Amino acid sequence: MDVISQLQRQFIDYTSSLYREGYVDDQFSQLQKLQDESNPDFVVEVVSLFFDDCQKLVQNMAQALEQQNVDFRQVDSHVHQLKGSSSSVGASRVKNACIAFRTFCEAQNREGCLRCLQQVNQEYSVLKNKLQQLFRLEQQIIAAGGSIPMVE
């Protein structure tokens, strides 16, 4: 197998595993469909915005939870925002972590919230690494002169 085919094979396998393991869902493939020659970096751009958003919101949540008197509505509002943007980019594990998080906010359970924050942070970090790997593969394919295969 030549280099391009090998890389493409890797790309397909890696992408499939991301879906299979629930890191991304169908909305992520929607984003990929929105990418074309006129907007070749769309997915990378949106995902980067998402990760910036993640970082900011996680910080806000941490700060809010550190307070003497935790304002759970405030925390919930941040979680709601993160849930929204993770849903929009197809980051399903992050989204699910947010869903669980909200129930602890509603219950005004600080310990539970802190655990969830930990979980959210973990999921976001792992996803970030995985997608960076995916984008690197894409770069390699293009650099080798190949095209990115569509993975349904």
Partner 1 sequence: MATATAAEVYGTPSDEELHVLAVDDSYVDRKVIERLLKVSACKVTAVESGIRALQYLGLDGGKSSVDFDALKVNLIMTDYSMPGMTGYELLKKIKESSAFREIPVVIMSSENILTRIDRCLEEGAEDYIVKPVKLSDVRRLKEFIIKGELEENSKTRHQKRKQRDEDQPSSSASSSSSSPTTSLSFLQLPAGDDASSSDPPSSPSSPLSQPELLLGSPSKRSKLLNRD
- Number of residues lying near partner 1 (CB under 8 A): 22
- By CB under 8 A, name the one of 7, 18, 24, 46 that touches partner 1: 46
Angstrom distance (rounded) from CA 71 to CA 69: 6
Contact in structure between 24 and 92 (CB atoms under 8 Å): yes
Options 6-14, 80-88, 124-132, 135-143: segment touching partner 1 (CB under 8 A): 80-88
Smallest distance, Å, CB 10 to partner 1? 27
Angstrom distance (rounded) from CA 70 to CA 62: 10
Options 67-75, 77-85, 108-116, 121-129: segment touching partner 1 (CB under 8 A): 77-85
55 binds partner 1 (CB under 8 A): no
Whose CA is closest to 54, among 149, 151, 124, 3?
Answer: 124
Q: Which residues contact 25 (CB under 8 A, 6 or more apart)?
A: 19, 90, 92
Which residues of the shown chain bind partner 1 in the complex (CB under 8 A)?
27, 30-31, 33-34, 36, 39, 42, 45-46, 49-50, 53, 80-81, 83-85, 87-90
